[in-house]
């Protein structure tokens, strides 16, 4: 009998620990986070083909429309949406704005959103990009100027990190490469993920999040119009490793226009 009481008590304790952990993680992973973007992040449209009419974002929680917004900006930081933010979907987790089609031309576009969650009262924000290319212009410009690039180097926790942007101009579709080597120049092979976060404080853009793809051991890259406007950008690189702490480094860079 005594033993049974103990067992029941232990089960009770474990139950409350479990409830505690799960409600905690619900909170950590809660907030209104985007689960679907339309058009998708990093989409590339051709000027002579069908262009998007509106922007739709589905969130994990319901946005409060009095506070929440979606702003769509061109490379000159001018709004190109019709300022008609509305909640959509049966469960009220979607939001959309329509675009002023007369303002769409070739270039990079930034979608900056902010949500006050009706469900937990927290504010989240972020940005993502899409671009429109003029096929006539791009065929003339395919000879990428090799001198037009940025290379940054740093050493963190005995790892040599090299960061390269080609071409180094705003409003372009740039390639971002992160190279990771040890002190002996050997590629780092315990990398799980390489993530970049772009922020442009002046224009209230960000964070724009990009997950890099592995090219080979120690080399990771991604391509996109993440540097959607000229000016001062902060690019944070996070390298997640197995069995070791994450490597973190931020670069503050002034990005020139085309």
Taking the complex as a whole, the smallest distance from the CB of residue 119 to Cu ion amounts, in Å, to 8
- 12 to each of 6, 7, 15, 17, how far by Cα in Å? 10, 8, 5, 9
Q: Are 76 and 20 in contact (CB under 8 A)?
A: no
Query: What is the size of the binding site for Cu ion (CB under 5 A)?
Result: 4
User: In terms of CB distance, is 48 or 120 closer to Cu ion?
Assistant: 120
Measured between alpha carbons, how far is 55 from 58 in angstroms, rounded to an integer? 10
State how beta strands 205-211 and 247-255 pair.
Answer: unpaired
Q: Are 161 and 250 in contact (CB under 8 A)?
A: no
Taking the complex as a whole, the smallest distance from the CB of residue 205 to Cu ion amounts, in Å, to 23
Taking the complex as a whole, the smallest distance from the CB of residue 67 to Cu ion amounts, in Å, to 14
122 interacts with Cu ion by CB under 5 A: yes
26 interacts with Cu ion by CB under 5 A: no
30 interacts with Cu ion by CB under 5 A: yes
Map tokens 């096929």 to a residue: 135
Q: Which stretch binds Cu ion (CB under 5 A): 27-35, 43-51, 196-204, 232-240?
A: 27-35
C-alpha triplet 56, 58, 61: angle, nearest 5°: 140
User: In terms of CB distance, is 61 or 81 closer to Cu ion?
Assistant: 61
Taking the complex as a whole, the smallest distance from the CB of residue 112 to Cu ion amounts, in Å, to 20
Q: Which stretch binds Cu ion (CB under 5 A): 71-79, 120-128, 161-169, 224-232?
A: 120-128
31 interacts with Cu ion by CB under 5 A: yes
User: In terms of CB distance, is 122 or 258 closer to Cu ion?
Assistant: 122
**Burial of 118: CB neighbours in 10 Å, binned 0-12, 13-18, 19+:** middle
Nearest CA to 192 out of 155, 164, 220 is that of 220
Taking the complex as a whole, the smallest distance from the CB of residue 30 to Cu ion amounts, in Å, to 4
Residue from 84, 100, 120, 189 touching Cu ion (CB under 5 A): that is: 120
State the residues that interact with Cu ion by CB under 5 A.
Answer: 30-31, 120, 122
């Amino acid at each position: 009998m005594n033993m049974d009481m103990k067992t029941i008590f232990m089960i009770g304790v474990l139950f409350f620990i479990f409830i505690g952990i799960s409600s905690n993680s619900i909170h950590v992973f809660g907030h209104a986070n985007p689960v679907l973007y339309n058009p998708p992040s990093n989409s590339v449209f051709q000027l002579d083909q069908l262009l998007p009419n509106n922007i739709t974002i589905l969130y994990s929680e319901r946005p409060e429309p009095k506070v929440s917004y979606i702003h769509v900006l061109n490379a000159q930081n001018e709004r190109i949406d019709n300022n008609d933010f509305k909640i959509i979907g049966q469960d009220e987790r979607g939001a959309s704005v329509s675009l002023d089609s007369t303002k769409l031309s070739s270039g990079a576009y930034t979608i900056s959103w902010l949500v006050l969650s009706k469900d937990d009262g927290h504010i989240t924000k972020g940005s993502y990009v899409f671009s429109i290319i003029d096929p006539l212009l791009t065929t003339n410009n395919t000879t990428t100027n090799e001198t037009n690039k940025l290379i940054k180097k740093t050493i963190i926790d005995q790892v040599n990190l090299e960061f390269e942007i080609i071409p180094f101009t705003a409003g372009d579709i740039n390639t971002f490469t992160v190279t990771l080597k040890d002190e002996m120049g050997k590629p780092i092979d315990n990398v799980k993920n390489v993530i970049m976060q772009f922020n442009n404080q002046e224009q209230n853009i960000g964070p724009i999040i990009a997950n890099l793809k592995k090219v080979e051991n120690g080399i990771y890259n991604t391509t996109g119009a993440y540097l959607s406007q000229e000016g001062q950008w902060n690019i944070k690189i996070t390298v997640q490793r197995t069995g070791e702490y994450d490597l973190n480094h931020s670069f503050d860079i002034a990005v020139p226009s085309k």
